[in-house]
Structure 1
Amino acid sequence: MVAALTLGSLFVAASPAQAAEKSCPRSGYISNNNVCTTLSNGVLSHQKYYNSGAYTQIAVTQYWKSGGSRIYKRLGFTGPFTNVGTQWQGWGYQYSGTNKSFSKNYLNSLSGCRSSQGLMEVSGSTVYKTPWSANC
């Protein structure tokens, strides 16, 4: 998935920092700004990274579904900046053996950046969460 933002004549495109996490360390921390949690049928991960060329902060939540029946879910993350609330993508189905991601670019200074966590809400179930990422 590629996220894009047009700012006047500036076009910013960014793809997730890496492929979906198919495994997760017990601690849940791959690095300070790359966190994950292992669920019974997959791995939920969340990343934040800085695109220095475009001066944007990018937040990405991904879910690698490794097994089980299809689910109806939405991905999101807590606001990575003090002026941004929790962000959600639309609802959709996900099948075993697939990766889905949700990402957004933010044209914010790093001074407003705060810790965030990835979220996945499954219809008729609960909201699953990653550990909190570090501040930027």
Structure 2
Amino acid sequence: MTKRLRVLSAIIAAVAAPVFAAPAAMADSTEVTPMHHWGSCSHDGFTNDVGARCTKLSNGTVYVRKTSYPTVTAQYYKSGGSNIYARVGFEQGGKNTWDGYQTMSTGGHYTASWGPKEGVGCTPVIGKLHVQNGTTYPTPSMSMC
């Protein structure tokens, strides 16, 4: 993903977050995400947003979201623990697509988006966090269409 696209994605996220913010009654006071409208993560992988799935880990939460068709966003919010060297990505049709590895520290939000140029299609997607030690943490599958 180019630097220009990352900057544009960050600007869009900053502008869209207040517009789509969840009501206070929907917010999870123990977890903060940069896109509050994605909602808190339930034990079965659902959020308050029907277009998102998640997996809650001991030191953070992995999200995948259909931001628009056919664009998918993967995100990891690190809520505690030591720094990790990891990357976010998604799986679609048995093929993994990854952002670059980076050091992830407590309080950080690590997000990447992919669209039709990267081959995102209509088949279901799984969001993923891959730690350099080889462990991969997937979200439940989510429909793209």
Please say whether Structure 1 and Structure 2 have the same fold, judged by a TM-score greater than 0.5: yes
Post-superposition shift, 1:105?
Answer: 2.0
Pair 1:70 & 2:70 matched? no
Q: Structure 1: which 4+ aligned runs deviate by more than 3 Å?
A: 13-18, 20-23
Pair 1:40 & 2:61 matched? no
Equivalent residue for 1:53?
Answer: none
Bigger helix share? 2
AA aligned to 2:100 is G
**Identity across the alignment (%):** 31
| Aligned residues of 2:70 and 2:144 also touching (Cα < 8 A) | no
AA aligned to 2:87 is R
Equivalent residue for 1:49?
Answer: 67
Distance 2:39 2:77 in 1: 6
Q: Which runs of 5+ in 2 are unaligned?
A: 18-34
Equivalent residue for 2:125?
Answer: 116
Equivalent residue for 2:20?
Answer: none
Bigger strand share? 1
**Higher RCO (CA < 8 A, seq sep 6+):** 1
Distance 1:38 1:25 in 2: 8
Distance 2:144 2:108 in 1: 30
CA RMSD of aligned residues (A): 3.0
| Aligned residues of 1:22 and 1:64 also touching (Cα < 8 A) | no
TM-score, length-scaled by structure 2: 0.68
Post-superposition shift, 1:29?
Answer: 1.6
